[in-house]
Chains A and B, each alone.
Chain A
Amino acid sequence: MKPRKYSQQMIDKWLGLLLMVPIVLIIFGITGIPFVRAVYLSFTNKVVGLKEEFIGLENYRSLFTDKIYWKSLNNTVIYTVGCIVAKLLAGLLLALLLNQNLRGKAFFRTVLLIPWALPGMVAATTWRWMYDSTYGIINSMLLKTGMIELPIPWLSNPGITLLSTMIVNVWRGIPFFMFSLLGALQTLDKQVFEAAYVDGAGAFKQFIYITLPGISSVLGISALLSTIWTFNDFENVFLITGGGPVYSSSVISTYTYDLAFIQNSFGRALAVAVSVIPLMLIMIMISRKIINTDINQ
């Protein structure tokens, strides 16, 4: 072997750092610069076309008395928590069912995946069509089968509009949990279950003491990812109710959009967006332990 001028270790080190450059540029550059500018602009009265003026905490102060802001925040929390719980439970149930030896398992898996594969805006638009007060099939079916007497105002009753959007988010999101958890369930060792059965543990005990701990890290990561996605869900609410009527289904993402692109006040929009970062950080920190165990395996 010819003698090397540089050790493999040195080559590795420089190559490694070199290959990190594009990632750093993309993730920290393209994400970081707007982010920093966003924080700066949130302290100004930036409006499209005009030069911004520094106004300090004025935008943030106005949020305290902004009823729509608090309504949006409230809605966002309800939307996020409600959808996650529903998706997780349904996904877990379906994963447990599919984990058995079934006939047509592949068929079920393929078909049940489709809502996740569809573009989010397609799902939202289709459900919007189904919810339509005049031409919608949902009310038509419910009325024709006699399950309800009056059409349900999915898109106009302020008490129901948020729920209408949540149903669609759940419809779209169940497959994600179902497939993640199914994969996790399949890694569990059957012998442990058999041993427990021999020891007298019923199905319920087995579930609590063997299944749940076994899938806990996948459950945790899936829940975390889905929470972030659900919290940021824009197209679903925007395309079904537009955040209305009268902001009844407004969430933080749609309110930010409204302030920025319809009311044209970027400064306030950014203040809204930045103000929810602490909430996001708390969510991330709560689940960080689970992520760390996964990465450092």
Chain B
Amino acid sequence: MTDQRLIAPATATGTAVDTVARAWTFDDLRADTLGLRAKVAPGARASLRSDDAGVVAAAMSALDGWASEVHLLPGDAAVDASGTVRIDVERSGSVTPETAADEHTTDWILYTSGTTGTAKPVRHTGVSLARRVATTLRAAELRWGLLYDPNRMAGTQVLLQSLLSGAYLAAPPLDAPLRERVRMLVESKVNALSATPTLWRMMLRLPSLELRLRQITLGGEIADQPTLDALRARFPDARIVHIFAATETGAVFSVTDGRAGFPIDYLDDAAAGVSLAVRDGVLHVYRPGAAEADGDGFIATGDVVERVGDRMVFCGRASGVINVGGANVSPEAVERMLRTHPAVADVVVKARPNSVTGNVLVADVVPSSDAEPATLTKELRAHVRGQAPRTHVPASITFVPALEVAATGKAER
């Protein structure tokens, strides 16, 4: 079974995935205790719908190199996986066929979160999924926590990082409040955690964040300097990494120097391990052969970048630009300005249709103090006006106790 990539090292022992339902040991995963190979014929196409990280890990361990393709269906998305064997984990047997399978290269199909409502399938291989996983001795000693859906790219990466390096993973229920999930991570002595900048800012506001983190990963949204600085101050001994990834391209590169954006050197040939280009202000990634690629093999990521000194910094999504009275405004840029104000713990800026200017900006602000709303609104508008054209100033500001967070961990826009 030379093609099997998504499996823990033979030396790994103890608990692999710790969930409320059960603790899965590395032996459980290697032994296919769910009997998945008895349900899915070698070379067959299968689909799995489970938000249980242990079940997803069991499917990866049993079916990579066995099935021809496996669809990981996110719980909330309507997707068409007709023609596949649906793996029903409730009726798990214990029969394992004794015949060795033919070798298969397994395609893993993940679904995008799809801001438009339709989940789009994206095909990966075990090789491409495992590409960014570090399997050093140090990696095996980490104790990871999972705050993402294991069926989504971000969660799959955390799951594989722990599984392939033989490390422990605690996976609290996805639907539990963040405070409760963090409490479970503390109890499990988690010391490595991956989350979106929005989730990190929420965690930094928790009254007690008793985690002793050695590894901090940020992804899925722009990692801005105030957030990176706050994490550095709170966890001085942690390695802080922000990764850039898209479902279409997988993880592309990571940055470990604690500074927002990435060094301009990354634009030189493959300094980041992948060829990058900036076209019309939008970051492109070299992925020849990909369906979305241009003639010369580059895919547009949709992320607008700008050079600031020796860095390229992320400005926001090209598709998210808001037209206010004829001026193009990046809501992310306004969020960054507002976040530098001491009274702002977090913020999301959105468009609202307006009969005068087409759109205006409105902001949901999580205040860090109990300042009087009218006074703070005035102060925050003045704060933006001091740094940007008046089109960037939110017409209205609503104060909220917390931002709405999507299943992906990103702030809802």
> Do the two chains belong together in a single complex?
no
Q: Give residues in B with beta carbon < 8 Å to A.
A: none
Q: Give residues in A with beta carbon < 8 Å to B.
A: none
